[in-house]
């Protein structure tokens, strides 16, 4: 059994980035532990997990414990708010006042790269500051992780705190200024520990970059056209000048599939680095091209938040309608059918070239030249039976499906007509796919041509 999305039935983080514009991490400072109240034997949980604070109830500010889906938390000078003045995703969120604290009474096993959460000002209250602290010794002592955040807006914003620690960890939020001003906290997500290999990849099961970082993307704004962007539910190499991803990588298993409805909330990603153009929900309007998902909506149905993450416009490419709605949709559905049949899949999708043909004819760019129309759309799917230690289970005999389609409207609905090899895609893009695999395994898989059955 795997645990990466153990708590996906809750509402999770709004949107998540590895480089939050307003946050600069200070040096870690050790401080005394804050009491977390009376609680039973600590529980260790394998991360990653998402906590949306939807399942508990606490109507008073007095110190007390609350059981949420993720475990037992202590809320001190904090309660669970569900009024119209509470800033929240779903039905409720934490509301904190004075110098209140919100902390786990359990550990998250396996470490953390980042923690992301949503925050906003309650009602018409004034601004307040808060901080995140991490403990590696069961709550005996804590160090601050990331920067102090100021909550001043009346709509939810996203904060990302860099942790970069291994081992069993627990987290605590502390409101530090603002007096009786209240703030809301929601969508608390612990993201997988990044071991630093592959330019931000992780070899942990079910992680987005298990197969490697195809272009050596980095999360530096000095690398704007190969910018490594961790969206939690998928990871991408974003190309600022093209207004779209070079590639997107993600995992699909039973834990990522659920009953969440299609959010259909296409929107700009306001968390892109400062000064970068934000492709908007209407940027493709009238172009003759669909807003084509890289990571599909239907691959992320475990929670509403997971599904919403797929509708960011930096997960889109201008895709010919028949390509997107038929050929590609059939391929995506086939991938999920493999999961339903007892497998898990790792997927990398990308595009290259310029100039495609949509329902209104051929175009090189759209959105006044700010978004490039790719000439080709490709995907690689690695299929393994359900199990653990995924990377080590990928062998020369593993099934790999590689598909490369022209981005045109006059295209067959049968995706098997466009089966190719990983090597052919590498030659077309200049990328190194499957780079985390042993050289001999990678060499064998690069030249395999799937039958489509």
| 3-state per-residue secondary structure call for 333-369 | HHHHHHHHCCEEEEEEEEEECCCEEECCEEECEECCC
Query: Reduced to 3 states, what is the DSSP secondary structure of residue 321?
Result: helix
Q: How big is the chain by its Cα radius of gyration, in Å? A: 22
Phi, psi of 426 (to 5 degrees): -60, -40
165-179 b/e (C-beta count within 10 Å ≥ 16 → b): beebbbbbbbbeebe
Phi, psi of 165 (to 5 degrees): -130, 145
**Largest alpha-carbon pair distance within the chain?**
67
d(CA 192, CA 144): 19
d(CA 380, CA 404): 9
Q: Which residue of the set 293, 300, 379, 442 is catalytic?
A: 293
DSSP assignment of 45-64 equals EESPEEE---S----S-SSE
Q: Are 240 and 277 in contact (CB under 8 A)?
A: yes
The structure tokens listed for 55 are 């399942």
Active site annotation includes 5: no
Q: Are 37 and 64 in contact (CB under 8 A)?
A: yes
In angstroms, the Cα distances linking 32 to 35, 51, 97, 100, 139 are 9, 25, 21, 15, 9
Q: Are 105 and 39 in contact (CB under 8 A)?
A: yes
378-413 b/e (C-beta count within 10 Å ≥ 16 → b): bbbbbbbeeeeebbeebeeebbbbbbbbbbbbebee
Classify strands 30-32 and 290-293 as parallel, antiparallel or unpaired.
unpaired
- Cis amide leading into 48 (omega within 30): yes
List the catalytic residues. 293
């Amino acid at each position: 059994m795997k645990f990466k999305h153990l708590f996906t039935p809750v509402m999770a983080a709004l949107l998540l980035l590895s480089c939050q514009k307003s946050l600069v991490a200070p040096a870690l400072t050790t401080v005394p532990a804050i009491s977390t109240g009376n609680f039973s034997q600590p529980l260790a949980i394998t991360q990653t997990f998402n906590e949306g604070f939807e399942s508990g109830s606490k109507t008073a500010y007095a110190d007390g414990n609350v059981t949420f889906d993720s475990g037992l938390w202590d809320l001190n000078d904090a309660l669970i708010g569900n009024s119209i003045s509470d800033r929240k995703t779903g039905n409720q969120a934490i509301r904190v006042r004075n110098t209140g604290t919100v902390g786990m009474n359990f550990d998250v096993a396996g470490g953390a790269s980042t923690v992301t959460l949503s925050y906003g000002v309650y009602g018409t209250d004034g601004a307040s500051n808060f901080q995140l602290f991490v403990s590696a010794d069961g709550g005996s002592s804590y160090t601050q992780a990331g920067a102090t955040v100021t909550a001043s807006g009346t709509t939810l914003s996203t904060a990302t705190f860099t942790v970069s620690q291994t081992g069993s960890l627990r987290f605590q939020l502390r409101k530090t200024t603002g007096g009786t001003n209240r703030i809301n906290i929601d969508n608390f997500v612990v993201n997988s520990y990044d071991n630093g290999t592959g330019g931000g990849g992780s070899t942990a099961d079910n992680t987005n970059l298990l197969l490697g970082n195809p272009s050596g993307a980095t999360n530096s704004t000095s690398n704007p056209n190969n910018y490594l962007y961790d969206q939690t539910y998928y990871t991408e190499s974003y190309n600022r000048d093209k207004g779209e991803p070079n590639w997107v990588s993600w995992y699909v298993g039973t834990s990522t599939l659920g009953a969440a409805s299609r959010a259909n909330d296409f929107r700009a990603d306001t968390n892109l680095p400062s000064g970068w153009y934000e492709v908007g929900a209407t940027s493709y309007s009238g172009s003759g091209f669909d807003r084509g998902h890289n990571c599909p909506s239907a691959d992320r149905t475990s929670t509403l938040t997971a599904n919403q993450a797929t509708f960011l416009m930096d997960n889109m490419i201008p895709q010919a309608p028949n390509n997107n709605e038929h050929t590609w949709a059939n391929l995506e559905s086939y991938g999920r059918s493999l999961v339903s049949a007892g497998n898990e899949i790792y997927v990398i999708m990308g595009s290259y070239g310029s100039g495609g043909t949509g329902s209104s004819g051929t175009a090189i760019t759209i959105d006044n030249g700010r978004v490039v129309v790719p000439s080709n759309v490709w995907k690689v799917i690695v299929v393994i039976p359900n199990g653990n230690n995924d990377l080590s289970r990928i062998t020369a005999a593993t099934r790999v499906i590689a598909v490369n389609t022209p981005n045109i409207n006059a295209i067959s609905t049968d995706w098997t007509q466009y089966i190719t090899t990983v090597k052919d895609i590498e030659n077309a893009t200049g990328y190194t796919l499957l780079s985390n695999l042993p050289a001999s395994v990678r060499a064998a898989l690069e030249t395999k041509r799937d039958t489509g059955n």
